[in-house]
């Protein structure tokens, strides 16, 4: 199998996995939320509030939450 076919196969598999993750995240009620570093698609790492169960970014933190996470 050549490189291009391998890459296509992996990309298709990745897409299916991302769809499964999205489905699980949509079903999740996000009962426990915490601050964590995440990297949005177009910027550097930033503090976000994520679900502890499914890992979905839920919202931006308040300034107090961000300072607490950063130990300020």
What are 9-60's pLDDT values in tens digits?
A: 999 999 999 999 999 999 999 999 999 998 776 778 889 999 999 999 999 9
Spatial neighbors of 53 by CB under 8 A, at least 6 apart, are 28, 30, 31, 32
Residues 70 and 40: their CA atoms lie apart, in Å, by 18
Residue 43 has what pLDDT?
Answer: 73
**Predicted model pTM:** 0.76
Spatial neighbors of 1 by CB under 8 A, at least 6 apart, are 9
């Amino acid at each position: 199998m050549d490189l291009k076919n391998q890459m296509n196969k992996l990309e298709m598999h990745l897409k299916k996995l991302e769809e499964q993750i999205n489905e699980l995240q949509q079903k999740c009620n996000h009962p426990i939320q915490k601050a964590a570093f995440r990297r949005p698609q177009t910027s550097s790492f930033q503090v976000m509030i994520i679900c502890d169960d499914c890992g979905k970014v839920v919202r931006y933190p308040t300034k107090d939450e961000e300072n607490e996470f950063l130990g300020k």
